Structure 1
Amino acid sequence: MIVKEKIHLLESQFRKMVQKDNNVHNAYLLVHSDRKGIHVNLAEGITGEMKATANQPYYVASVGKMFTAVVVAKLVEEGNLSYEDFIARYLDEDMVQALHVYEGTDYTYDIKVKHLLNHTAGIHDFFEDKPKEGKPIVDLLLEEPDRYWTPRDAIQWSKENLTSHFPPGEGFHYSDTGYHLLGLVIEQVTGEPFQEVLKQYIFQPLGMKNSYLLHYSTPIQESNYPMADVFINDNKATNYRCLSIDYAGGGVVASSKELLRFMKAVVNHEILSKEALERMHDWAKFAPGIDYGYGIMKFKSTPLVLPKRYNMWGNAGITGTFMFYHPELETYFVGSLNNYLDHRKGIKMVFKMVDALMK
C-alpha cells in the first residue's frame, strides 16, 4: 500500500471511530514517521461552538507521568537526586506521618524514589482506590467542581481514607498519590514549584510554547485555540478547578504537535542520554502484556494476550490520551478522546492505526 493510501486509511478509520461513538465529543490523532514519510494530524468534534482543530491543546491525563519521570531522570543525571534515595529525606514530617501503613507496620521510611516511579511502593491511589467509607474522589470532584485541590490536599485525603497494599518493592499498584509525592520531591530538590521545573527542563528547551500545567501555570505563548473540552461522566469538566488535583500525575496540557516534539526528544536522546533512558526501563508488571517503568508504559508481545505487532512504549491516560513510539514501524502515535474512562478506547485506536500501517 502506497503512502497516500495509508494516510487516507488512517484518516478514514479515525473519523469513523469517533463519529460513531456518541460518548466522544472531540478527539485528536497524530501519526508521524520520518522513515515512512507519514505525517497525519487530525481532529474531530467540537469544543463549545468551535470545531476541533488539530493544533488545539488538550489535557493529557496520565501521559503527564512521563514528563514527571523525565524531570526526575534529569535530576539524577545532574547528580542532584538518586533513584535509591528514600523519599522521607525530601518531605516534611507532616507529610510522611503514617503515609504508608500496611497491616499495622509503617513502611513510609522504606519508600525510595524508584518505587514511586514504577508504582511498586505499595501506597494507595487517591484516584481509583475505594475509600474505607464515604465517597470516592471522583464523586467528590463532581460535587465540588470549583474546589482547588493542592497535592498536599490529595495526599492527606489518601492517608485519611485509603489503605496501603504491600511493603515497598513487593508488588505493583498504580498510584497517582505516588506521583504527587514525586512532584513534591522535585520541588524540594530544585527549590522551584513543579510547574516552573517543567517549564525550565522540558517546555522551554523543546520549544513547547503552548504547553502548561493546568491550574498551576500559563503557557510561554498562548495558543490560538482554547483547551479542548474534557468530559467526566457526561459532565463538561473543562473549566473545573478541581482538575488541579492531577498536578504531577497528569496535569499537563499540550497539543499533539508538542507532545510529538517531546516524545521524539526522548526517543532520540535529545533531552536525556541513552544511558539515562535505559535506567528508566526498570520494569514492573502492570497487567498481562503491559510493563511499567519510570513513567513509561510498555506493550510487549505475550502469548494469547498481545501480538508482537503491538510492541511499543510511551504512556496513556484515563481520558483516552496516548503517546507511543512503535520501534518496528519507527512511528509515533499521539492523541486523545478527552473522555473519562475512555483509556481502553484510546489504546484500541492506536492498535487500529498500527494495523492500518502494517497492511
Structure 2
Amino acid sequence: MDPLKHKIQALADTLVDHPWHNGVTITVHDQMTGKGYNVGAGQLDAKKPYFATGATKLYVTAILMQLVAEGAIALDVPFMSYLDDCRNGCRLCAELHVLDGVDYSHQITVRHLMSHQSGLGDFFIYKHSARSVQHAIAEGIDTGWTFADVIQRTRSHGAICPPGTGRRANYTDTNYHLLGKVIEGVEGKTFAEVFDTRIAKRLGLSSTYVYCDPADRRPLNLMSKANEITIPLSMASFQSDGGVVTTARESMMFLRAFFEGYLFDVPTLLGHCNWRPMFYPSEFGLGLMRLKVPLWMMAPHRWREPWTMFKRVEPLFGQIGLGGTFLFHAPKAGVYVAGTVNQMADPARAVKFLLKTIEATQAHRTAGQYRAATSLSPG
C-alpha cells in the first residue's frame, strides 16, 4: 500500500475503533502530484452514500452563482422578490424579521442570506446567539416539517439584529432554506430537480441527489454520540440547508469543479466575500466558509511528530456540516479533501481528521521530492 494511503487509512481506522463512529471516509486530491486517494473504514468507503448535512450549502452556493451569472438573480435584491408566495402579497413571510417593533423583512437580500447576515433567528437549532446541538433528532426522534413550519418557527424564535449589521456572521439554517425557495421561484421547479440538472447531471454524479423520499435507505444512518439514529422524515425536510446525499468520491468531483471554475466564475464569488467571524476558528464570506486553525489548536495532535509543532496551518475554504461532513480546498497546500466522520455530536473530529490528512499529504509530497533530488545527486 502507498505510504500516504496507509497513513490516512490508519487515521480512519483509529476513528472507527471509537464507538461514536459507524463509518469514516475521505477522498484526497494532491494538486501538486495529481494523485488521488480514497479511504474508507467501518461501513463507509468512497462509493457508499451518506448525508452531506450542512455541506449542502456549498452546492446551493454553486447554483446561486450560476443564476447570478445568468442574470436570473441579483445579490442585492430582496429575496422575497423571487418567492412565489411573496409575489402574491407576502402572506406567508409577513413580519418574518421584526426587531424592536421595526419590520425588516423586505430589506433582507439574497446577499444577506448567503453570507449569514440576514439577522434572522434559526428554525432548527440556534436561537439568537446561543449555541447548542441539543435537538430532538439527536435523540433519534424523527419528525418532518414544511416551509410554513420553517417560517413560523423562525418568526417565533425572534430576530438577532437588522439585516447586514453586526460584526459576526450569525449562522442560521433558515437562510439557506429560504435560498432553496428562491431557487425554486426563479427556476419554476423543485430544488431537487434544479439540483439534478445544474449539479448532478452536469458533473455526471450518479449517487449525489437531494434526499426527498423517507423510504430511501441508501445513505448510511448518522451517529449521535454512540447511537445510530434513523431520521428519514427529518432528513427529507432539510432540502437546501442540509438534504444532499453524496459519496466521498463524488463530493470530490463536485469540490474540484466548484473551485476550478467548471460550475461558475470563482473569482466573482471570492470578490464578494466579506469575511466575518462565525464559529471559532471559522469565518464566513458569501456562501463560503474559511477555516483558519491556530497553532495551539493543532499542537496537542502533533506531539508524535514534534518537528511539525510550529508549522503554520494554512487557511481552508469550503464547508463543514453538523453530521461531520466536510468539503475543503487548501489552496496554499495544494490539497482537496472531501468526506465525513458521520458524527453529529462533535464536528471537531472531522476538522482534526481532515487537517491531519492534509498535513500527511504535504509531508508525503516533501519526502518524495527529497528522495527524487537525492537519487539525481552526483555519486
TM-score range, shorter chain: 0.7 to 0.9
2:218 aligned residue (209, 212, 226) = 226
8 Å CA contact retained: 1:180, 1:249: yes
Q: For 1:318 and 1:268, locate their aligned partners in 2 and report how far apart those are by CA, in whole Å.
A: 26
2:239 aligned residue (242, 247, 271) = 247
Q: Which amino acid aligns with 1:269?
A: G
The alignment partner of 2:135 has SS state of: helix
Shift of 1:32: 1.5
Give the RMSD, CA atoms, in angstroms: 2.7
Percent identity at matched positions? 27
Q: Which amino acid aligns with 2:160?
A: H
Q: For 2:227 and 2:31, locate their aligned partners in 1 and report how far apart those are by CA, in whole Å.
A: 39
In structure 1, runs of 5+ residues without a counterpart are: 47-51, 220-224
Deviations 1:6-62 (A, max 9, x none): 23222212212332x21111111111114224322122113xxxxx33210110011
Q: For 2:14 and 2:26, locate their aligned partners in 1 and report how far apart those are by CA, in whole Å.
A: 13
The alignment partner of 1:313 has SS state of: strand
Q: For 1:113 and 1:212, locate their aligned partners in 2 and report how far apart those are by CA, in whole Å.
A: 24
The alignment partner of 1:7 has SS state of: helix
How many positions carry a matched residue from both structures?
341
Deviations 1:233-284 (A, max 9, x none): 5553345212223211111000011111111111111111244333453322
CA spacing shift, 1:141–1:309, aligned 2, 3 Å = closer
Q: For 2:172 and 2:34, locate their aligned partners in 1 and report how far apart those are by CA, in whole Å.
A: 38
Deviations 1:296-350 (A, max 9, x none): 1112366867874231111100111111111122111111121212211101111
Larger CA deviation: 171-180 vs 227-236: 227-236
1:17 aligned residue (11, 15, 18) = 15
The alignment partner of 1:152 has SS state of: helix
8 Å CA contact retained: 2:283, 2:290: yes
Match of 2:117 in 1: 120
1:189 aligned residue (186, 194, 198) = 186
Deviations 1:91-127 (A, max 9, x none): 3212321211122221111111001001011101122
Shift of 1:216: 5.5
8 Å CA contact retained: 2:38, 2:46: yes
Match of 2:23 in 1: 26
Matched, 1:327 2:323: no
CA spacing shift, 1:301–1:16, aligned 2, 3 Å = closer
Matched, 1:149 2:149: no
Matched, 1:104 2:101: yes
Higher Rg of the two aligned structures: 2
1:44 aligned residue (41, 45, 61) = 41
8 Å CA contact retained: 1:127, 1:137: no
CA spacing shift, 1:15–1:209, aligned 2, 3 Å = same
Deviations 1:127-149 (A, max 9, x none): 22249xxxx9822785751x332
TM-score of the pair, normalised by structure 1: 0.87
8 Å CA contact retained: 2:95, 2:105: yes
TM-score of the pair, normalised by structure 2: 0.82
Q: Which amino acid aligns with 2:100?
A: E
Q: For 1:312 and 1:37, locate their aligned partners in 2 and report how far apart those are by CA, in whole Å.
A: 19
In structure 2, runs of 5+ residues without a counterpart are: 299-310, 364-379
1:4 aligned residue (2, 5, 9) = 2
CA spacing shift, 1:151–1:282, aligned 2, 3 Å = farther
